[in-house]
Chains A and B, each alone.
Chain A
């Protein structure tokens, strides 16, 4: 059986396997079998190692493409159906945009979309600013630099599920540290998670706590890449430290800012885990509902599958608006 397979393979490939696992070409391509000829043609088109390298990247690529892009297209299809409730599978015979018009007339959806945008912009902006300040401070030739860096990065090693527990305790109305510390200034107490005008900012602050260390690491690498001559030139010109950073150093951190911002926005889009763990359920505190939580709630708690799928498509388009330009930017710089 195995021998038959080997002979068949040899015929088809027009090649002979060597005992040590190497392969030698047998004669010209003209004498090779049909697959050999096809592979030679492919190699001519795509490059000399194309066919031989394909077993390495093609199966993983297909698996990834099925789960990522196949699923997104499938999701788009489901969002066009009326799939809901306990039915096993959607009915694909009738497709329309009903779910999208429903979303536009759903005030909960509009609120969630606005909250998502506010969360993304505020979280990314504040985290970048804190990270940059930290990076500038750490870069001033301090002692115990590694120690400080480790401490600043520590929250990032924790998961949203865990940090949500910590911040639930920090924001506790009667005994939380946040209320205790503003109490020493005669302020508060504030119901951080119960007041729907504040809760989103409380979440932004907690997320900033978790990821500003990451922004610092990226900025630190960016600062170290700037030649010291630039600092010296600015100092010779008599510029103050503040002016030097604003005019000379920060403009050169564009690349670091872009890559950190993209990653932070992706973390922001994944804030679902944090909000879910904060309340231990699908319904986040009033005023902190974002598209990610609304999508999962509609689909898995209310069984409005196709409505959830439609919200997911909106969320995906928002992510695409961030990542698309970034990928084009990286492609132009030949960084892919």
Chain B
């Protein structure tokens, strides 16, 4: 009895192998070769950056860029240098990226709620939404000069926050607060759109019955909509964090110099490893990986949510 069963199992396993082999036609093999080739195309720049970052300066010149260094050519010195140069900048980046991410996600959520769930005429809603969506796509160069004017001439945080600087904080940190407000304002369109696509698919019945029982819109949001928004909050937080952490243009304009104590990591990285003697590629690569670490971590741990956010 048991023998027969094992026998049956082996034949089916053999069958499966045969079937798999039959499926493995030339075409199929070619397909996988092409797919693997493309995978290496996407990975090689990253891989060669990683191995270069752990090579000594002589090994960088003497070995092939994508080959790992030999024992004599291995060093962590460049990483040490990169940490020294960038760690403080990473702290500064966190200082504005985290609050700006949380704020813009929350504001995007309530804006999308106000424009999706309550009943008012679509004819008036649509132009508002069109204006918000268009805000996603404008090139930020078109607002840079006024933005500089706004923060330098009209809302002078450097003076408004006088007491803070008296405490010994460098007044360059006004730039960090400016970055938070700026990123929140320009993040509203994309966050609103992401939440709106999510809220449009949410069941209306529960909300309608709550409304019929006299619940206010605020109550509906707090008790029903907000608790159900978890998955979309994950997407938006990941997306916004990556965007804000990586943005160079606003930091360049609002903080301006990489020697400032408030300089974010992207600003320091852009000039890292360049000197009169030439470029220190190992240091540049180490710095690039260090700066990318938070976003890479987010991507690796929440890859599926990232893909979802990207596709939306």
B114 at the interface (CB under 8 A from A): yes
Assess whether B141 is in contact with A312, with CB atoms less than 8 Å apart. Answer: yes
12 contacts across the A-B interface (CB closer than 8 A): A63-B184, A70-B146, A137-B35, A154-B42, A169-B52, A170-B45, A170-B65, A270-B249, A295-B141, A315-B141, A316-B138, A323-B134
Q: With A and B bound together, what is the CA distance between A262 and B134 in angstroms? A: 11
Assess whether A158 is in contact with B115, with CB atoms less than 8 Å apart. Answer: no
| Chain B 247-288: CB-based contact to A (< 8 A → 1; otherwise 0) | 111001100100000000010011100100001010011011
Assess whether B266 is in contact with A161, with CB atoms less than 8 Å apart. Answer: yes
Which residues does chain A contribute within 8 Å of B38, judged by CB atoms?
Answer: 134, 137, 152
Assess whether A67 is in contact with B269, with CB atoms less than 8 Å apart. Answer: no
A69 at the interface (CB under 8 A from B): yes
| Chain A 257-282: CB-based contact to B (< 8 A → 1; otherwise 0) | 00000100010011011001100110
Select B120's contact among A46, A63, A137, A156, beta carbons within 8 Å: A46
Which residues does chain B contribute within 8 Å of A300, judged by CB atoms?
Answer: 252-253, 256
Q: Contacts A151-B42, A162-B288, A166-B46 known; list 18 others, CB within 8 Å.
A: A23-B216, A56-B217, A60-B188, A61-B132, A64-B132, A67-B182, A67-B186, A158-B46, A159-B292, A162-B289, A165-B284, A172-B281, A175-B61, A175-B65, A281-B271, A300-B252, A312-B144, A327-B133
Q: With A and B bound together, what is the CA distance between A50 and B124 in angstroms? A: 10
- Looking at chain B's contact residues, is the secondary structure mostly helix, strand, loop, or mixed? helix
A192 at the interface (CB under 8 A from B): no
Q: How many residues on chain A are close to B (CB under 8 Å)?
A: 104
Assess whether A280 is in contact with B242, with CB atoms less than 8 Å apart. Answer: no
A114 at the interface (CB under 8 A from B): no
Assess whether B271 is in contact with A47, with CB atoms less than 8 Å apart. Answer: no
Chain A interface residues (CB < 8 Å from chain B): 21-24, 46-50, 52-58, 60-61, 63-72, 74-75, 78, 88-90, 134, 137-138, 140, 142, 148-163, 165-170, 172, 174-177, 180, 209, 213-214, 217-218, 221, 262, 266, 269-270, 272-273, 276-277, 280-281, 291-292, 295-296, 299-300, 305, 308-309, 311-313, 315-316, 319, 322-323, 327, 330-331, 336
Near A by CB (< 8 A), chain B positions 116-151 give 117-121, 124, 126, 128-147, 149-150
Q: With A and B bound together, what is the CA distance between A301 and B290 in angstroms? A: 29
- Looking at chain A's contact residues, is the secondary structure mostly helix, strand, loop, or mixed? helix
Task: Check A162/B269 contact, CB under 8 A, given A137-B34, A157-B296, A209-B45.
Answer: yes
Q: With A and B bound together, what is the CA distance between A299 and B148 in angstroms? A: 10
Which residues does chain A contribute within 8 Å of B270, judged by CB atoms?
Answer: 161, 276-277, 280
Which residues does chain A contribute within 8 Å of B177, judged by CB atoms?
Answer: none
Which residues does chain B contribute within 8 Å of A138, judged by CB atoms?
Answer: 35
B113 at the interface (CB under 8 A from A): yes
Assess whether A49 is in contact with B186, with CB atoms less than 8 Å apart. Answer: no
* Minimum C-beta distance from B278 to chain A (A): 11
Assess whether A153 is in contact with B129, with CB atoms less than 8 Å apart. Answer: no
Which residues does chain B contribute within 8 Å of A48, judged by CB atoms?
Answer: 119-120
Which residues does chain A contribute within 8 Å of B98, judged by CB atoms?
Answer: none
A-B contact count (CB 8 A): 306
Most buried by A among B140, B150, B291, B299: B140
| One of B7-15, B161-169, B302-310 at the interface | B302-310
| Chain B 147-161: CB-based contact to A (< 8 A → 1; otherwise 0) | 101101100000000
Select A276's contact among B120, B124, B128, B252, beta carbons within 8 Å: B252
Q: With A and B bound together, what is the CA distance between A157 and B113 in angstroms? A: 28
Assess whether A52 is in contact with B132, with CB atoms less than 8 Å apart. Answer: no
Q: With A and B bound together, what is the CA distance between A277 and B138 in angstroms? A: 22
Q: With A and B bound together, what is the CA distance between A280 and B306 in angstroms? A: 29
Assess whether A46 is in contact with B124, with CB atoms less than 8 Å apart. Answer: yes
Assess whether B118 is in contact with A308, with CB atoms less than 8 Å apart. Answer: no
Which residues does chain A contribute within 8 Å of B136, judged by CB atoms?
Answer: 266
Q: With A and B bound together, what is the CA distance between A64 and B66 in angstroms? A: 46
Q: With A and B bound together, what is the CA distance between A175 and B61 in angstroms? A: 7
* Minimum C-beta distance from B264 to chain A (A): 10
Assess whether A142 is in contact with B145, with CB atoms less than 8 Å apart. Answer: no
Select B137's contact among A148, A166, A209, A319, beta carbons within 8 Å: A319
Q: With A and B bound together, what is the CA distance between A255 and B164 in angstroms? A: 52
Q: With A and B bound together, what is the CA distance between A166 and B147 in angstroms? A: 31
B39 at the interface (CB under 8 A from A): yes
B246 at the interface (CB under 8 A from A): yes
B111 at the interface (CB under 8 A from A): yes
B221 at the interface (CB under 8 A from A): yes
Nearest CB in chain B to that of A163: its residue: B45
B87 at the interface (CB under 8 A from A): no
Q: With A and B bound together, what is the CA distance between A134 and B147 in angstroms? A: 41
